[in-house]
Amino acid sequence: MEVECSFSNLKLKYDRLQKGGFFIANIQSIMYYNEDTIVYYKGQFIKAVEARGNVYDQSLHYGYAVFEGIRSYHTEKGVQIFKAKEHFDRLRFSAEAVSIPYHWSTEELTAISYEVLQRNNLKDGYLRPLVSCAPNMSLTKPKQSELLIAAWAWPALLGEKLLKLKTSSYRRISPASFKVEAKVSGHYVNSILASQEARDLGYDEALLLDINGYAAEGPGSNLFIEKDRVLYTPQLGSILPGITRATIIELAHELGIEIIEKQLTLQEVYNANSAFYCGTAAEVVGIGSLDDKAFPKPWKESLGATLQKVYKNLVLQKEYRTIEKIA
C-alpha cells in the first residue's frame, strides 16, 4: 500500500482493498480534484497533485490559517463569482484579526479566482481561498504566509431536503477566547465535533448554542426562524457574521419582511413556525425539525422558501420577483 500526503492535497493509492478486511478506505478527496485539477499555490498555477507544503507549517500543526468559501454561478451573463469583494475583504479581515501576514488585494484575488475556474472548466463552482502560515513551531505570530486558491464542483452542502437537527452538546466557541467573527481554520474543529455528533445520532446536522445557552448557529451555517410572519436570527456577538446571512437580511428588507436580530432561546426556536439555515456552501435550506420537534408550517408556505427562491434568482442574476408572486 502506498500513501502520499502533502499540505494542499491528500492522495491515497492502495494496491489491495478487501471488503470486510483490515483496511477500509473512504476517500472523500476524490470529489475535490483529479490529476488534471489546477490550483493557485505559492504564486503560481500548478496541478493539485504536484502541490507541496512543509510538514512544519504552523497551520498544519496548530490550525493557524484563515479561509473563505465562495461560489460561482453560470448565469446568462457568463460565469459570475457571487460577492467576491465581500468574501475577499473578509479574508483580509480574518488574517489581520489573528495577525497573519496578508499582502494581496481583493482585485488580485478575484482575477486569480476567475482564472482558476477557467483552467478547471468550472462554471458552477466552489472556491476555497486559504492563507496559511510558514514553518514555525513556536506559539508566535508568523512572519510569512502563503496563498492557496482551489476550486471544485460542489452541490449544496446540506442537500435540498428539510433537515433534521439535533441541539449539540458542544457550545459555539466563546468570543472571550477566540476572534469568532474571523473565519479561522482552527475554529472549525468545533464545527466538526458538533456536526459529527449529530450525524452519529441519526440527524442531518447540529445546532450549536452559545456559551450562555442561546441559539447560535449551525456548524457551517447561520440560523433563521419564522414566527407569525416575522423572521428572527441570532444577533452578532457569538456567531460568524455570514455573507449569505447579510444577503438574506438585505433581501428580507427589500421584500418588506420584518426581521429582528436578537438572542434566541432554545424554546423560542422550538416554538417557531418554520426555520432555515443559510451559508455559501449550504445556500438556503429548510429545517424540518429540531430535537424531533417538527416545525408546523409547510416549507412551501414559509418565508424561508420565498427567500430561497429569491436568493437563487439573485445569484443567477435573474430578475427579482415580488414576494406575492413567489409565495
List the catalytic residues.
183
| Distance (Å, whole) CA 41 – CA 322 | 44
Burial of 90 (0-12, 13-18, 19+ CB in 10 A): buried
3-state secondary structure of 21: coil
Residue 196 CA, distance from chain mean position: 16
CA distance 125 to 22: 36
Start-to-end C-alpha separation, the chain: 56
Is the CA virtual torsion 233, 283, 117, 13 positive or negative?
positive
**Alpha-carbon Rg for the chain in angstroms:** 21
Between CA 232 and CA 79 the distance in angstroms is 33
Contact 57, 174 (CB under 8 A): no
Helix/strand/coil for 105: coil
∠ CA 186-192-198 to the nearest 5 degrees? 155
Q: Could you give the CA distance from residue 197 to residue 166 in angstroms, rounded to a whole number?
A: 9
CA 13 from centroid of its chain's CA atoms: 29
- Strand duo 205-209 + 163-171: pairing: parallel
Cα 194-199-200 angle, rounded to 5 deg: 100
